[in-house]
Amino acid sequence: MKRNVSLEEISDGRLYDKNDMVRAGCGDCKGCSACCHGMGETIILDPYDLWRLTVNLGVTANGLLQEKLELHVVDGMILPNLRMNPTTSACGFLDKEGRCSIHAYRPGICRLFPLGRYYEDSAEAASGIREAGYFRYFLQVHECPMPNKTKVKVGKWVDTPQLEQYEAYIRKWHSFLETVEKMLPQMPEEQVKNVNLFVLKLFFLKPYEAGDFYSQFQERMTMARDVLEL
């Protein structure tokens, strides 16, 4: 989801990569679950999140959509996000003790927080200065109320195995979405709907196998690029 705010307004003005130290460490979030409340539709999931949740919880994507997830249109694309309880405004995965009940399988955005991803201008990618979907991390300074944060290595904070491969996947997914989003305004309404349903089914609803996610993703990406003629 693109946000029309300047980096200066929401961050410490710096961009980080996985080897940098950043003051984001909030210990064990003791007594706090602020970022698991009132997040609206903003915790958007990617295919890796769906793989991680469905394989580890033993549920289907459709099963998760019954209660824990919902679908929204983001920049023209139908994508899943964590559903907040309409009464308590808490994420459906938050337990009674105020802890994340799926900590080991929590989505990428939850792993990052209070960091975010800042994607470089796609014009730079087009001119070959940057690879498509290139991003760095930034620290959101107004989001996490925990005082006295400690310095942590970005790569450790993100807490994701095979981080380089994961980052390459994120770039690929982001640039795919960006390409499709740019095509949608030129399409008739019916085609927009069909493209959206195709992407939703292929990357989110079609069950993933346990085992290597990245090869399954690549297979689906090749098919998507073929069908959509990208």
Interacting residues toward ligand SF4 by CB under 6 A: 26, 29, 32-36, 43, 82, 91, 93-94, 100, 102, 106-107, 110, 113-114, 144-146
CB of 150 to ligand SF4, least distance (A): 12
Report how far residue 202's alpha carbon sits from residue 16's, in angstroms, rounded to the nearest whole number. Answer: 33
* Distance in Å, CB of 100 to ligand SF4, minimum: 3
Nearest CB to ligand SF4, comparing residues 84 and 199: 84
Residues in the chain, how many?
230
Q: CB 42 → ligand SF4: shortest distance, Å?
A: 10
Buried b / exposed e over 90-127, threshold 16 CB at 10 Å, is bbbbbeeeeebebeebbbbbbebbbbbbebbebeebee
Task: Provide φ and ψ at 97, rounded to 5°.
Answer: -85, 5
Beta carbon of residue 83, minimum distance to ligand SF4 (angstroms, whole number): 10
Residue number with CB closer to ligand SF4 (95 or 124): 95
Contact of 65 with 80, CB cutoff 8 Å: yes
Residue 88 or 222 having the CB closest to ligand SF4: 88
Q: Which is nearer to ligand SF4, 111 or 130 (CB)?
A: 111
Residue 3, Cβ density class (10 Å: 0-12 exposed, 13-18 middle, ≥19 buried): exposed
Question: Smallest distance from the beta carbon of 97 to ligand SF4, in angstroms?
Answer: 11
127 or 148: CB nearest ligand SF4: 148
Calculate Rg over the CA atoms of the chain.
18
